[in-house]
Structure 1
Amino acid sequence: MQKIFTVIFLFLSINIFAQNSKLDAEKAKEFYNKALKNITERKTSEAIENLLKAIDKDSTFSDPYFKLGQINEAARSQENAIKYYKKAIELRPNDPLLTQGYTYIGTRLIKSGNYTQAKEYLSFSIKNVPPNSPVMKQLTKQLELCKFGEEAQKTPLNYIAAEMGSTINFKNKQYFPVLTADNETLIFTARSEDGDENLYISQLVNNVWTAPKSISPKINSTANEGTCSISADGRTLVFTSCDSRNSLGSCDLYISKKIGDEWSTPENLGENVNSPFWEAQPSLSTDGRILYFSSDRQGGYGRKDLWVSQLSENNSWTKAINLGPIVNTNNDEISPFIHANGHTLFFASDGHLGMGGLDLFMTESKIGVYSKPENLGFPVNTFEDQVALFISADGKKGYYSSDVKNTIKLFQFDIPKELSEKFKTTYFVKGIVKDAQNKKNIATTIELVDLKTNLVTENVKSDSITGEYTAVLPNGSKYGLFVNKNDYFFKSLSFDFSEKNESANKIIDIYLEPIKKNVKEVLNNIFFDSGKTDLRPESYTELEKLVVLFKQNPSLKVEISGHTDDIGKDVENQVLSEKRALSVTQYLVQKGVNALNIKSVGFGKSKPIVPNNSEENRQINRRIEISIL
């Protein structure tokens, strides 16, 4: 009898529980329907309250969880959205109706760098969306990103970044660092507690950065000044300022020149560069004549694109042109940085295949055509946003800014070998230009010519007060450096970096001789093959400089002399020197120079400049000279 009563009790308990569960489920459905009505009426608070009540009545009812996930997604409450979506998926796994939740969680896993798990969620989503739809395209790209992220993490670069120290990181937020070609001047943007942005400068003294100071009261103002770029010599500055200084739009680009120790009053770069839209984040070529920047103006390919403008012969900026669809996407391309080599462009993008946010890319420009951008790899790039990269002219150091516990600090790192091998490094030559007679500093124009192509690759000036100049020479070619000034004989220097890969920076003071009797100059960019007398093509740039000199001074009378080292027979050296001098003379005569104004002679080995005791010295002694008679 006892067993019968127990069975009856259990049966009644189960029946009552089932009835209560049914009532709870019905009540949960009632609360859920109320919530749907609340949503239609845009009563979000009431909807959330009813959804939570529905869950309280029936914790196995997945729909309220899913709807709470949608509400929190719309409210950008990521943590809650993921929590509710995951609960809905747990209750109804592999249900195509929950695709939005799978997609949301997968996308957030990408943003945390969990590519493997993100791929699992997104692989489910892509099977349950219409083919050829925008969502399908988005998911396809995200799955490619997951694959790229997984592979990148398997092959990390040798990359260790370090903060630049408290002297440089002297405020709560500092960012967008740039340096001069000699790596001795650092300029960056820093923001004060009240939100005012200004430009600060620091000098490297005895391998230690000095305390940053305001770059100039003419540049920094009550408006925001930031995201700047500096020419190789540190004397041309382009920066961003918003809603100030005769602005054409929200943010414009401005230019200032340094003469001696003083910066000029900044000038708006004008409507060929600026527009009523946002222009910012400039990057100057080493000679300050080509300007890259980011803008959201109309006529681009996406939200923010990269644009370029050049300084014309009349000293005005050309109308900016878009870099095109190889570089720009339908998303954001920002933070351009043209390396000192003149053709490697680094930039940030969330439109090219990357690791989830804004990644850093590089592209090579050849005659205005850009290569397919290449991701710089992990851990230079991570799931977080990376922007504002600067790489030193010698390719050894990288600089950037990054968020650190509610602050923004400047970092530096050694460029990984795998990365440095992908672009050409550069060298620099700097010094002071002086009058050879009175030793006064003088302003000159300085042309850097690639002697393999005879094309001018850089055009800079020496400072009119200090006489200082800096020129950048990319690795991998042979260069002629020509220093020109009216009423002076031009100076030529020769640099062969065709095969060198080690640092070869030089400090050379240049002394220009006035055009007058007894002035003598070595023509450093006249070349012959060993034992030959035919002029090599690399000589044409210097020869044309001579032609121009004679046209400007038609009465000029000169002696062209050939010289050899002490290797070989004296008679042969004498003949070789005479014939080489004659080759130069014949070239000039063919170009219209009066033959009566040129005397051609050879001196063989008889007039060395330096002792013939090394191959380097012998090379110096093998030369063509010009003397004014």
Structure 2
Amino acid sequence: MNLYGQKKKEPNPKKEVGLLLENFSPREINSVLKLPGIRFHNINKVAYYYDKKELKRIYELEKNKDWEGYLKALYQYISNFGVNNFVLQRDMDLVWRLARVSEYFDQTELTKELYRLILKHYRGDVQDALYTYDSLIKFEKPLYADLEYYYRLVEKRLQIDTLKPPKEVLTEMGSEINSHFDEYGMTIGGKNDSQLIFTSKRVVLDTSTINKDLYGERVIENIYSSQKNPDGTWQEAKPFDGINTQYNEGSPCISKDGKTIFFVRCHAPDGSGDCDLYTSSLQEDGTWSEATNLGPKINSYAWDSHPALNMTEDTLYFSSARKGGFGGLDIWYTTKDKKGEWEECKNVGPVINSMRNEVSPYPHAKHHLLYFSSDGQLLNFGGYDIFKSYVVEGEWTEPKNVGPLVNGEGNEFYFAIDSQSKWLFYAKSYEQDAPNMDLQSFPLPMEAKPNNLVRFSGRIIEKTTGEVFQGVVTIIDLTDGIEVAPRKIREDGSFDFELINKKKYLLVVEGDNFFRIEEMFYLDGDKEVQIPAVSINSVLTFKSIDFEKGSARLLPGMENNLHLVIDFLAERPKYRLRVTGHTDSDGDPTFNLTLSKRRAEAIRGYILSYGNFHPSRVIADGKGDTEPIIPNPVSDEEKRINRRVEFKIYFDEYGIAEPLETDPEKID
């Protein structure tokens, strides 16, 4: 039986008649009442909470439209929920009602928390909740850009020697680790993260084995180990001596000192259910002790797997299909008592667990956060995705998807990272229904880092009109070369990232109606910026493009802005450009007209040469001193303003398949 494959059947309870969600309008609210997030202190204490008297009082408060009393009473009642309250629709209706009255009282954070619980646990129609929740977080949730945008920057990144091309980052770990069978359920251990221990379903010759893989060959699940070479490659994996038997073993977890291993064994005679958690200790002679079942406080009649130790090694997390959970596979944990014995296990609660499946927990070795895989969280890219949740004041934060550079359309399981948080190891399948899993390893992206806790946000606006722009924002870590998933600019022009503090970054902003923006910055604490963008829909002038008196010779100081225009045209082949030269009023008007045309032609030639464009994409013209911005200029500065070169971008839906009109007077 696959250690990752067994799934608890989705519950299909009879449809219950819950409270009707009536529209109600509370009286004018002058309250300054603010309630904190709900702490479900009864989880793991009572299976189901019910207080008939208190429910009756809540209904009376609603009937009398005492909305503040209703809010307080409902809040208190729901905070007493046990696990089974989340399974029953009539009780989740109470959560829905609390969310609505909280919204009326402008309790925004509480409202968002309640709608998240509804979306993860409510078994009825959640479209209204989804619509409301999306509106509440409209300008908060990450809008990841299409990865095509991301890969367009490959050439740009190649110029920065600290970065690798993104398409080459994701790498399978090679034939020394992977076989044509499934590999998964790994952990990193040993000095300097030099040991990789993982699960594999490899062919064995023992005819007593009963499992068959996708190829129809006889296999069992065993634990394998590989040592890292000095050059960073891995040696050929070998069976983990002293642990493997004729039964299925997998999902290993080893202590920091390398002397205690926890793992899963299935179908063993001393087991409590399908798969149980076991432990073994390294003895003085270098062999491993006989494996010990962790017993009924931890193991159940059902599937129990995926053990993982926390940073202080006094808490053991695992996944289980036992009853008493929130629906599918849940994450549970057990802690050591004062005698060092493992206590009765507990459920981690409704913030992490959903009505679907949560598996493969992985606590970070140095930070207070938990990684895990789930197909029941609010933002999934497909199948199982990897999420992370922090511990803040003893409570789990809302899980965050670690982003599209890790998660994709298939399934991502068994997340593990090295102790320095530099490398990611996980098992990935590209097909949800018939997974064939291999171990992958690549540099840990920013979204999956444990310490990307500093907020960098901003808005992209037109500097004179305040117009907001749509496009894509990419950030490149110049200090360590960490990959950062690009974001779409929101409809209000905003964007935000969570980055690591005290690092140097490159900001790249691209869109179809403004010039690309590139700027380096050093992040020191939370930072909010307003970034002025230059719209292509306006006539553009650049202060740097200021010719010497009487000359049409291009100067080196002009090149940066000219290449800004070149880059824009290169990336958008259906746009064309008109360059118009203007002079000041000094000198002979006929000479000025000729000079302005020569200047425009010089710029046109430079752009065509460097961009290798079709000649018809750039048109040059000169107006001499006939169209001054400041009539009758007096000062040198006023004359400088009149002495300019203007750039106008045009969209041509037909591209350059045929020559375009080159006479500026005939262009609309």
* Structure whose alpha-carbon radius of gyration is higher: 1
Query: TM-score over 0.5 for the alignment?
Result: no
Higher normalized helix content (fraction of residues): 1
TM-score for the superposition, normalised by structure 1: 0.43
TM-score for the superposition, normalised by structure 2: 0.41
